[in-house]
Structure 1
Amino acid sequence: RFQPDVLIQLPGDKQVVVDAKVSLTAYQTLTGAQDEGSRALALKQHVQSLRNHLKGLSLKDYQRLEGLQSLDFVLLFVPIEAAFAAALQADPELFQEAYGRHIVIVSPTTLLATLRVIDSLWRQERQSQNAREIAERAGALYDKFAAFIQDLDEIGSRLQQLDKAYLGARNKLTDGRGNLVGRAEQLKLLGARASKRLPADWLERAGAETPLPGEIEE
């Protein structure tokens, strides 16, 4: 069961994991050493203790744990500044080794500065993500709008074709000698029994004679 010591919340439901379980037993021995040989041995044990903690912390892989939305690195907090400095002075590669394991070693004086850098970089990343999302959504909206205009043009073209076909069909009914409207009206005048009459404007276009009201068959 893994339980981080501290979770620092970031915008976007992200967290920074801080581990503070590092053992300083060897460092306490170092501070109490009476001779140079004892000091050298304790310092070596202190560095090795820190390195072992790095290995164990990397195996926990906090950023992969279910329920956490952690960044891809963990902060290892060394609570005593002198212990932090002594380890890095004895082994300058220790910090780079930790970074290779996705761990950043911090001390009381560097923790706040590190968090500020993380906050600044994370905000920039969030802004970049927002900008990319805005660009993608704007592009999708533009594509939809362009497709909509194409559809409108297609509808307009179809309407023009339909209007042209309508005019052609109407002209066939009313144009020319012996057109259908004129012939139909002649049948009405000759006594065809009908309950309705053709519209006057159609009769006019067809050049047919419009019967007087009294001439309309009941």
Structure 2
Amino acid sequence: MSEYAANPLYWILALQALLLLGLIAVIFRQSRLLRHLEEERQWNANGFDRVQELQRSQEKLITGELTQAAADHNKELELLQRRLLVQVARLYQSLERRFGEMQKHIADDSGNLRVNLAERVDRMNQSLEKNLGEARIAQQESMARGLEGIGRQMIAGLESNAKAVGARLENLADSTEQRLRDISSQVEKRLNEGFDRTNETFSRVLEHLTRIDEAQRRITELSNNVVSLQEVLSDKRSRGAFGEVQLNSLVRNIMPESSFSLQHTLSNGNRADCVLFLPAPTGNIVVDSKFPLENYRRMTDTESVEVERERAAGRFRMDIRRHITAIADKYIIAAETADGAMMFIPAESVFAEIHAHHPELVEEAWRRHVWLASPTTMMAILTTARAALKDAATREQIDLIQKHLNYLARDFGRFQQRMERLSQHIRQANRDVEEAQLSARRISARFDRIEKVELDGLPLSHESQSEEV
């Protein structure tokens, strides 16, 4: 072991091994730092600023680590140098002790041996100094080359790491820009869809508002019409005119012009709203419009007290009786009108109230031959009257129809005779056509036999013989 310790090459190899271990440790730390950098970059892939900050911190950390590693290597080299110097000093001391012992052992020898030994010692000292200088120079050169190689490797590693980090940062920037473009396009698409839906909603809202305005306008017109109708119905003469207008409209729409007369004056001087000219046995029916509305409203007003409503109901019955009596006395004239007259009530509610809750009024009207009619029942009565007029017109023309039917019967007899003669001619023509077809077939057969040269053996037919005769 002392021989290895005394050999300078052993220390050089040990120093190189230590440098190699230090280089391996630096590379391992660098790989750990790179792996840590990669993990940090992946974890912070969505933050470009954080990556830059991490890059700066990692560069500082790598620079610090490299500086610390260089300092550690320098400390180790200094320690190795100090150990080498200690070993060399120990080697000198050992050599000096050996030289002293040798001098003591050879002191008794001859001077020549002492001289030779001194020369050898000088040569050994020179050789040792030379070897030590060469070893020190080689050691320094090896350390310089190792440090230079380590520096180049570190610089190359840093450059490759910087390139990799730059490429990854570029990829990250590209992917971030692409994602931003995708997000921007999606946001723009959604904004456009939202704008379209908003515009469609606004269009529908405007359409609904237009409809609401139209409905509001119609409601306003209807309310104005209702107010006008209320003003008309509040006046007695206006109510009478309203009933007459409604009656005139019904009659004009259903009956022919010659079958009625409006504002017709009778022989007793009374003027009726309408007279229907119907055929016998019905005769002329007078129709007069009555609209007992005031007492009906008071009778049906739920806000009034019960006593007021009962009084209004009594007055309403009195109004109806008075109208029935007036129509029966004025508009039923013997030999001029029918035995009954009609009272036209232009309100279905009033007509329904009379028939539903006042049967005594209906019975009294029946006894006085006054027929109550509402707009609905009046329409049915007028339709029936029109059918009766049509039937009467048909009966009046029955003689003319009978005469034309007799003419039609004679014409049909002549037509039948002529058709019979025509059918006989058609049957005769059919027989002639059949006989002509038979002759044509026989002539064709004879021509066929002529073509086949069989004329000699062919007997003459009875028809051909008759034709020759």
TM-score (norm. length: structure 2): 0.24
RCO comparison, higher one (Cα < 8 Å, 6+):
1
**Over alpha carbons, which structure has the higher Rg?**
2
Normalized per residue, the structure richer in strand is 1
